[in-house]
Structure 1
């Protein structure tokens, strides 16, 4: 099940952006703390850039020699890249708050919190030529914009799927019930993602199987709905063998047989050794997923290199390679030219209707995301408390 990634076909030409200087000044961010103004122009590159990202997003050939889109960037821009990988939205959020990183690739739930906290700055998309080619349904969304102002460049998107051992789990599951109501059949060998945002997966299941709860959006849960999701997850807890955040440990668990069923990323399925008897499916109830955004820190020490990176990673060739490596749909149709044959079709690249069926990670807030005004919804702090009580 290893996923081969074709090497870069040709050098990606970076757009030459020549403006005298970059100026950042404070302004409001739609009710959150100040994240500053977007850059009005670009100046001389600083020579270094510090990047915070999900696994597989900043590859420099150290994991696989033929998977390297960092070295061409460094050579073409003179910006030396240092990077740190994080495993959960909370880790990414807290690391970015430290002020040590220029750029982050943030999932929707973390991106919204970073904007609200003033940790990231608006971006001037006119300074990012490759932004124009990005699918419209990824730009200016609730998790990467505020009041019509963009806060970043979409990277790619994909679903959180169900993976199972085909020799152990039978019949082939078509429902998330195999990790919830029916998880007792695989006691101690069920795995789940270790983050409060996983509560949304339980909510997706309850939307289909307990309609009387009235859940219309898995990120808009009132107190009763959150309690129902938490109860389901507490029942699941007795059968969990591992909560995972490090994708490599999950690969090892499926390879060893310690885990036989649970939520997964395509990157994990792609990383399994040949011969491991697994399959991946999208259950009938629907799925959560990620639509990540490259964002620039409001206190970035290298804003010019940061803008160069955002433009570079959105270029068709590099975006095609980077999203193909982790098993996501790319952010533009042009990127499909640089993907393996059939992969864009397999990931429904550019299919806005398909993307609309994925409940992309979003930040739970008190103002209900489903439009209700007669009751407050639970916010991320309440989800975090609930998750701590579930996992103990």
Structure 2
């Protein structure tokens, strides 16, 4: 009897042990399944993160349908951040210890600044076959200041425009010939100016006849400052975005405007029904050439290069001209600039000095305090 009882106990303990072992195996299997799916999710998340392209650009450069087509073609997600001034672009690029973007569009003067600060990555032209579609003058990269450094390419031309005068034909019967018309007392309260330290000092230097508007001495800076203070008498306001300028122009019946965005603003105004003209002043005109660059912090460089190459496809570059009225680098513009004196913008003598003075001018600081 004792033996049977002992045997039964041993038998029951064996069953319990086997049940316990089976439970342990099931738990391990469940843990493995959970771990497997967890790893899959992490891999998927990491892959998705690698396929996110962060773009820093100007309005009209990365429209929603253009972005959607790129995302579909390259199975990626594109995050677009827009800026309205070179100063805003600079601030965005300097948030954090490294750039928070993969590609950016900037003019040649800004490109030089970013390259100098080692914020840009070299571009492999073999990965940009659409550059062969560009007009010869835009393929000659070494001849365009700021695009190369020690023989290495850091930017690809994308679009450009002069920065001339836009005027209302009903209020200005004779096309103006000089930027000095912005100071004409007859246009009191009917002038729009772009909110930018660099460009305002430069175009005023041209109006004053200074030979190099990008490298000014202290005396010239003081003279320009006083002239920009005088301009406040004629101003309706300052603008940042082209759409904002067009709205001001139409709503408040503006007579003259410094067209920082050039032909892009002209196109917007004409679509809004405004009867406007566009002139390049006799003393010369500033002009910008915006380029695409890849940042040194680009997480997925092949994807960044694919974006730059995509921007040079005829359909995409063509949309820039059709929608924005801006010239592209693949085809000759419909309206040439003739023999006009065009100055591509360059780095200036002291950005901090210009911006400090401009901030005081815009804020309405009294003339006697300068």
- Per the TM superposition, whether the score is higher than 0.5 is yes
Tell me whether 1:271 sits opposite 2:242 in the alignment: no
Matched position secondary structure for 1:110: helix
Larger Rg over CA atoms: 2
| Counterpart for residue 214 of structure 2 | 219
TM-score by length of 2: 0.77
| Counterpart for residue 50 of structure 1 | 54
Matched position secondary structure for 1:143: coil
**Residue pairs, 1:374-389, within 5 angstroms:** 378-389=349-360
**Residue pairs, 1:92-241, within 5 angstroms:** 92-98=89-95, 99-138=99-138, 139-140=141-142, 141-180=144-183, 182=184, 184-198=185-199, 199-207=201-209, 215-241=210-236
| Counterpart for residue 239 of structure 2 | 244
Matched position secondary structure for 2:176: coil
| Counterpart for residue 308 of structure 1 | 306
Q: Which runs of 5+ in 1 are unaligned?
A: 1-43, 61-67, 208-214, 337-343, 365-377
Matched position secondary structure for 1:346: coil
Larger relative helix fraction: 2
CA distance in structure 2 between the partners assigned to 1:79 and 1:322 by the alignment: 22
Give how far 1:325 is off.
2.6
Give how far 1:106 is off.
0.5
CA distance in structure 2 between the partners assigned to 1:203 and 1:177 by the alignment: 11
1:298 to 296, 300, 303: 296
Give how far 1:293 is off.
0.9
Give how far 1:304 is off.
1.9
Matched position secondary structure for 1:56: coil
Q: Which runs of 5+ in 2 are unaligned?
A: 1-47, 364-370
Matched position secondary structure for 1:158: strand
Provide Cα deviations, 1:238-297, integer angstroms capped at 9, x if missing partner: 221111112222111111125321112222221234432322222222211110110111
Tell me whether 1:357 sits opposite 2:341 in the alignment: yes
CA distance in structure 1 between the partners assigned to 2:361 and 2:253 by the alignment: 21
Matched position secondary structure for 2:294: strand
CA distance in structure 2 between the partners assigned to 1:362 and 1:71 by the alignment: 34
When residues 101 and 256 of structure 1 are mapped into structure 2, their CA distance, relative to the original with a 3 A threshold, is same
CA distance in structure 2 between the partners assigned to 1:242 and 1:360 by the alignment: 26
Give how far 1:328 is off.
2.3
Provide Cα deviations, 1:119-168, integer angstroms capped at 9, x if missing partner: 22221222211123334434232222222221111102111121111222
Q: Which region of structure 1 is more displaced relative to structure 2, 113-122 or 288-297? A: 113-122
Provide Cα deviations, 1:50-90, integer angstroms capped at 9, x if missing partner: 11111110012xxxxxxx32222222211221211111001
Give how far 1:319 is off.
1.6
CA distance in structure 2 between the partners assigned to 1:174 and 1:389 by the alignment: 29
CA distance in structure 1 between the partners assigned to 2:178 and 2:286 by the alignment: 14
Number of residues of Structure 1 aligned to a counterpart in Structure 2:
307
Provide Cα deviations, 1:334-361, integer angstroms capped at 9, x if missing partner: xx6xxxxxxx23146xxxx86x832122
Alpha-carbon RMSD across the aligned residues, in angstroms, is 2.3
When residues 257 and 277 of structure 1 are mapped into structure 2, their CA distance, relative to the original with a 3 A threshold, is farther
Tell me whether 1:345 sits opposite 2:334 in the alignment: yes
Give how far 1:306 is off.
0.7
Kept in 1, the 8 Å contact 2:159–2:328? The answer is yes
Give how far 1:202 is off.
0.7
CA distance in structure 1 between the partners assigned to 2:58 and 2:250 by the alignment: 22
TM-score by length of 1: 0.73
CA distance in structure 2 between the partners assigned to 1:176 and 1:216 by the alignment: 15
Matched position secondary structure for 1:280: strand
Kept in 2, the 8 Å contact 1:90–1:110? The answer is no
Kept in 2, the 8 Å contact 1:156–1:328? The answer is yes
Give how far 1:317 is off.
2.9
